[in-house]
């Protein structure tokens, strides 16, 4: 099975909400938080079991990173190709 990578820049104040959206999508297997230079700060394995209380420590860590860095890159590893807007 082939994984699909997607990377985008995001403002630090938007990062936690975007992470929650990605997890809700369900086809994400890993989320990697990087700075603009490509330095990895966090790598989050996402599984169906990562919900509620288990997600809280990851979000706290992401919030701490976001507070230190102005802009972040999020690399998303998906189990299937993301839907294009016209596919919705």
- DSSP strands (E only) in 1-88: 4-11, 28-35, 40-45, 71-78
Least confident of 3-12, 16-25, 50-59: 50-59
Read off the pTM: 0.71
What is the predicted pLDDT for the residue at 31? 87
In a domain, 88, yes or no: no
Q: What is the residue whose two structure tokens read 């990087």?
A: 34
Q: Which CA distances in Å does 32 have to 19, 78, 85, 86?
A: 10, 12, 23, 27
Mean pLDDT along residues 42-71? 71
CB neighbours (10 Å) of residue 11?
Answer: 11
Instruction: Examine residue 86 and state whether it is found in any structural domain, yes or no.
Output: no
Domain count, the chain: 1
Per the structure, the complete domain to which residue 26 belongs is given by: 4-81
Of residues 34 and 87, the one with the higher pLDDT is 34
Let me know if residue 48 belongs to a domain: yes
CA pair distance 88, 33, nearest whole angstrom: 27
Task: Answer whether residue 31 is part of any domain.
Answer: yes
Give the tens place of pLDDT for each residue, 67-86: 777 778 889 998 877 666 55
């Amino acid at each position: 099975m082939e994984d699909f990578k997607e990377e985008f820049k995001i403002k630090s104040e938007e990062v936690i909400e975007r992470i929650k959206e990605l997890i809700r999508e369900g086809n994400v297997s890993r989320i990697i938080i990087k700075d603009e230079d490509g330095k990895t700060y966090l790598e989050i394995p996402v599984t169906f079991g990562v919900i509620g209380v288990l997600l809280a420590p990851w979000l706290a860590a992401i919030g701490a990173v976001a507070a230190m860095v102005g802009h972040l890159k999020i690399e998303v590893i998906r189990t299937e190709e993301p839907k294009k807007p016209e596919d919705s």
